[in-house]
Amino acid sequence: MCIQSGELVTISGGKFKLKNKALKSLRFRIMLLLVLFGFIPCMIMRASVLSSYEDRTVSVKSAEIQNQCTILANQLGSSGYLTNPVSETIDVELSQLSTIYSGRVVVIDSNFRIVKDTYQLEEGKTIVSADVIKCYQGGGTSYYDAGNRYIEVTVPIVDPGSNQNIGVMLVSISTDIIVDSLEVMRGRTGLIAGTTALILMVLAYMFGTIMVRPFRRIINSIEDITAGYESDKIQEHAYTETNQISEAINKMRGRFKVLDDSRQEFVSNVSHELKTPITSMKVLADSLLAQSDAPVEMYKEFMQDMSEEIEREDKIINDLLSLVKMDKTTQDLNIKNENINDLVELILKRLRPIAALRNIELVLETFRPVMAEVDATKMSLALSNLIENAIKYNKDDGWVHVSLNADHKFCYIKIEDSGIGMPEESLEHVFERFYRVDKSHSREIGGTGLGLAIARSAVVMHRGAVKVHSELGAGTTFTVRLPLTYVAK
């Protein structure tokens, strides 16, 4: 049973509103299906019974008449009635047969001349019909005309001496009795069908009401949730469908809660990160304003600190803008077939001066030329953030090893360092926005907490994946996997 969620609830002002008409429509459709599935077989059975009764009655009546006619036909053949139609006994028997079955009996000789007609209308006339000819040639016939309401039977008259057909006996009887019986049966079966339909409607209404109740409870639960009662999960296991709907809604609620918590945490972190430099600048400015005769050296020192805080603020804002761009649809990607070897070498060339300040060795190892369909700008930003992090969170006189490899489907970029590493419990959070393993150390280094989030977003936009492995004090390894051929959704 398929039920569209849009028929059950609508979103209005952030709240779900119950559609009673939709539930009534659903119940009506259930009732209609139940009535149809019950009533149609009933009507088919009724028609089948009537048809079977009619066929059976006609068949029995035809066989009965043929038996009577066969007996009389034998008498007609042995008595020579066709050549001398003067026999009171046979005339009486023919009249009795006509009276009993309310029909007409006609005796026809080999010249297709009517020898005897119980209605005394066409005696002496010639009759030629397909059934008479067929019967004369070797076999009786039986024909039922439902429209004109009669049965016509022909039986051959056989000469006992030569065993040849010398005539035909034709009997036509009315089927009014059969039709009257059919009308009685039709009325009775119609009454039964009507009663059955009424019972089905009552049962369908009750069953439809029962079937709709779980969906009504689900909607009531949704309304309770939107009203602020979010402690209980929706648990409706009446049917497989309601169970699946409940599980889907609960998963959606969990996802929305995670997103809402993430949004609140993100807003809180953004506010905190943006507020910290401003607070520092205000403290420095207030300190200068509080001293009317502050020396020039103090002014220079404080202004230098304020400049650094402004630069930090600018870096946070730029990273936020980059992250926002990463969150947009992939329509913004400028995909081209790029040489990944050249791309990585260019990134390392830009970062070598930063690494040289702490005597950190940058090593690139490539196993083969790699061409891939990527957005060079976004992928450069992602790899730059990963490699720059490996430099920033490294030890003096350490090393960063970057390797590039590929197979028939993906290219693999591995970034290993000899840095401070991360504890295991932090690995699942490192790609979250503003997450820092060591907040105090990160601020000393100058990180914003957005670099890894930006890198992951860029890789995911390319249908790739990034993984991290690290041990505290033993360095960190990031592995990026990118498809060689970009496939848009």
> How far apart, in Å, are the Cα atoms of 246 and each of 6, 215, 238, 460?
16, 10, 11, 30
Q: How far apart are CA 75 and CA 169, in angstroms?
A: 11
End-to-end Cα distance, the chain: 30
163 backbone dihedrals φ, ψ, rounded to 5°: 60, 35
pLDDT at 405: 92
pLDDT at 197: 75
Residue partners of 88: CB distance under 8 A and separation at least 6: none
pLDDT at 15: 39
Are 487 and 420 within 8 A, CB to CB?
Answer: no
- The residue whose two tokens read 């450069």 is 380
Are 30 and 207 within 8 A, CB to CB?
Answer: yes
Query: Sign of the C-alpha dihedral, residues 268, 274, 277, 281?
Result: negative
SS (H, E, C) the chain: CCCCHHHHEEEECCEEEECHHHHHHHHHHHHHHHHHHHHHHHHHHHHHHHHHHHHHHHHHHHHHHHHHHHHHHHHHHHHCCCCCCCCHHHHHHHHHHHHHCCEEEEEEECCCEEEEECCCCCCCCECCCHHHHHHHHHCCEEEEECCCCEEEEEEEEECCCCCCEEEEEEEEEECHHHHHHHHHHHHHHHHHHHHHHHHHHHHHHHHHHHHHHHHHHHHHHHHHHHCCCCCCCCCCCCCHHHHHHHHHHHHHHHHHHHHHHHHHHHHHHHHHHHHHHHHHHHHHHHHHHHCCCCCHHHHHHHHHHHHHHHHHHHHHHHHHHHHHHHHCCHHHCCCEEEEHHHHHHHHHHHHHHHHHCCCCEEEEEECCCCEEEECHHHHHHHHHHHHHHHHHCCCCCCEEEEEEEECCCEEEEEEEECCCCCCHHHHHHCCCCCCCCCHHHHHHHCCCCCHHHHHHHHHHHCCCEEEEEECCCCCEEEEEEEECCCCCC
124 backbone dihedrals φ, ψ, rounded to 5°: 90, -15
Q: How far apart are CA 471 and CA 474, in angstroms?
A: 5
Query: Sign of the C-alpha dihedral, residues 427, 429, 434, 436?
Result: negative
Q: How far apart are CA 5 and CA 215, in angstroms?
A: 10
Kindly state the tokens that stand for 306: 């304020």
Domains (ranges, CATH) in the chain? 78-177 (3.30.450.20), 241-327 (1.10.287.130), 330-483 (3.30.565.10)
pLDDT at 461: 85
Task: Per residue of the chain (489 residues), give pLDDT as tens.
Answer: 443 433 434 434 343 344 456 566 666 666 676 666 666 777 787 788 888 888 888 888 888 888 888 888 888 888 888 888 878 888 888 888 888 888 889 888 888 888 888 888 888 888 888 888 888 887 788 888 888 888 888 888 888 877 888 888 889 888 888 788 888 887 888 788 778 777 777 777 777 677 767 777 777 666 666 665 555 666 666 667 667 777 777 777 777 776 666 666 666 666 656 666 777 778 777 777 777 777 777 777 778 877 877 877 776 677 667 666 665 544 567 888 989 999 999 988 888 888 888 898 988 998 889 899 988 888 888 898 889 888 888 888 889 999 999 998 999 999 999 888 887 777 777 777 666 555 444 444 455 567 788 788 888 888 889 898 888 878 889 999 999 988 776
- The residue whose two tokens read 């603020």 is 313
pLDDT at 428: 73
170 backbone dihedrals φ, ψ, rounded to 5°: -115, 130
Kindly state the tokens that stand for 56: 């059976």
